[in-house]
Amino acid sequence: MFDNMDKFLYVIPFAIAVLLIASYLVSIIKTNMVVILKYSNEGGKKVSFVLQKLFKLIPRDSKLRKFYANYILKYSNLKFERLVEIKAYLFIIAMAFFLTMYFTNIKFFSSSVFNSFKYKVDFAYEYHGVENETEALKQEQKYLNQAIKEIGKNVSVQSAEDAQQLIRSMVTERKYDLQEPIETLANKVYYRLKDYYGVRRLNLLPYAFLALIISFIPELILAIRNKIIVSSTRKELVFLKKLIILNGSIPPVDFFEVLELLINKSRYYKPILEDIRDKNLANSIDNKKIYSNLIEDTNNLDEKLFFEKLDEANNYNFEQAIRNITHEFELDKREMDRHLQKQVSKIQINGFIGFSIIILLMFVIIVIVWVNTYDMSDLGF
């Protein structure tokens, strides 16, 4: 009976995986909330409840959230809660997939244990004189089923000799009715019984570890993306500074109108600018603190200067901020000119050195050829 159930156990985690994927796709289409199978089943509600508790345990000013905000989700519209939701889905789906593999392996391996005549046998018990393999297999299956009932999982804690002795004591047929020696029969049944329970031994730790690694795929993708778009973010930062100059040069100037324009025109810095706008409107934090936190959290000098200019435009003097941005562009242009001059000088010096080395090599080659062809024996050498 248990063997028949094994044939269908692999369907359970497979069905769970399919339901989770389908429910997740539906949730993406209908809502953008951090809810996992909220309206699908009780399991989804429990997962959602656990996630909500997790979010409460992680304060908004915690180092973990800051790390994700400043390095992983910096140029992404993805929120921390949404990322955790995706990670939870990946973990659950990966676990369901691994369990599907586990139960599938049980199904196919159990079939081999019961239906394969050529099975493991110790060299000392090998027997090649079987006349009727079908009948011999039926006998092995009979005593395997009996061993499952009488010995069961205890085979893993018993010695091989003790287990085989128990199996030999089960054999009720007369020896001349057996298709193979009783020692061979007991040895093969022992290995079948051992493998039958060995494949059913479930160790969740490796599966959980692999599923946990898979759940970090979003972070890996976002980190690679952040590295790839570095040059694009630098160009966007220059573009945003130019927009501030163009739209803030003609008074009267409203900082929030300019900020809204920056949000609409930006792509990579949009989440940061939206956060600045929301915190300004919420008035729940000192405006100066908004920018000091951003400046502290970034290691990019251009970003630090950009946030300083926004701070100046927001809290001090917009016109002065524009003048500072213009002056910064002039300094950048001078720095670029100096860099180009240095590069030209390096090219000229390297070209002169390379040319000199080529001339020297040619001269040395000519002298060597001349010396080799000149007969110096008359000079006493």
Cα torsion 231, 233, 234, 235 to 10°: value is 90
What kind and span of H or E run contains 48?
A: helix 42-57
SS3 annotation, 76-102: CCCCHHHHHHHHHHHHHHHHHHHHHHH
The SS3 assignment for 122 reads coil
What kind and span of H or E run contains 345?
A: helix 318-373
Cβ 302 vs Cβ 235: under 8 Å? no
Give the per-residue pLDDT at 52: 63
Which of the four pLDDT bands, split at 50, 70 and 90, describes residue 47? Answer: low
Averaged pLDDT of the chain: 78
Give the per-residue pLDDT at 209: 92
What mean pLDDT comes out for the span 15-40?
53
Question: Could you identify the residue written with the tokens 């009780």?
Answer: 42
Lowest-confidence pick of 17-31, 272-286, 340-354: 17-31
Which of the four pLDDT bands, split at 50, 70 and 90, describes residue 375? Answer: low
What kind and span of H or E run contains 47?
A: helix 42-57
Whether residue 45 has pLDDT greater than 60: no
Cβ 199 vs Cβ 105: under 8 Å? yes
Whether residue 49 has pLDDT greater than 80: no
Whether residue 37 has pLDDT greater than 50: no
Question: Could you identify the residue written with the tokens 């949404």?
Answer: 82
Cβ 94 vs Cβ 215: under 8 Å? yes
Whether residue 357 has pLDDT greater than 70: yes
330-351 tens-digit pLDDT: 877 887 778 788 888 888 888 8
Give the per-residue pLDDT at 33: 38
Q: What distance in Å separates the CA atoms of residue 163 and residue 114, rounded to the nearest whole number? A: 18
Give the per-residue pLDDT at 48: 61
Give the number of other CB atoms < 10 A from CB of residue 159: 9
Taken in order 156, 160, 161, 167, the sign of the CA dihedral is: positive
What mean pLDDT comes out for the span 238-262?
84
Q: Which residues contact 222 (CB under 8 A, 6 or more apart)?
A: 72, 73, 76, 78
Taken in order 74, 221, 213, 46, the sign of the CA dihedral is: positive
Rounded to the nearest angstrom, the gap between the alpha carbon of residue 92 and the centroid of all alpha carbons in its chain is 14
Question: Could you identify the residue written with the tokens 């809290």?
Answer: 315
